[in-house]
Amino acid sequence: MSYSMLPNVLSVIRIILTVPVVIALLKGQYLLTLLLFLLAGISDALDGWIAKQYSFQTRLGSILDPMADKILLTCTFITLYWV
């Protein structure tokens, strides 16, 4: 893997983190939910910074990053409504 793909990999990790966030919420493990959500937030900030700092901006990244945010937030809000 080339380093230029790192921001996109971080976005995919954020999408994958949605599953444990939802599961932790459903199980009532709120501290774990918070920690996972913070990890997702850090990955969001980090992928944008890396892409801009090292000129790793790609068309895929411009689609993947906001999509990852929307997936995480939408699934979290729906789960919070359900719980």
- Structure tokens belonging to residue 73: 């937030």
Q: Rounded to two decimals, what is the model's pTM?
A: 0.89
pLDDT in tens, 22-80: 999 999 999 999 999 999 999 999 999 999 999 999 999 999 999 999 999 999 999 99
> Cα(70)–Cα(27) distance, rounded to whole angstroms?
22
CA distances from 7 to 16, 47, 52 (A): 14, 4, 10
* Cα 49 versus chain centre, distance: 14
CA–CA gap between residue 61 and residue 82 (Å, rounded) = 31
Domain range list for the chain: 3-82
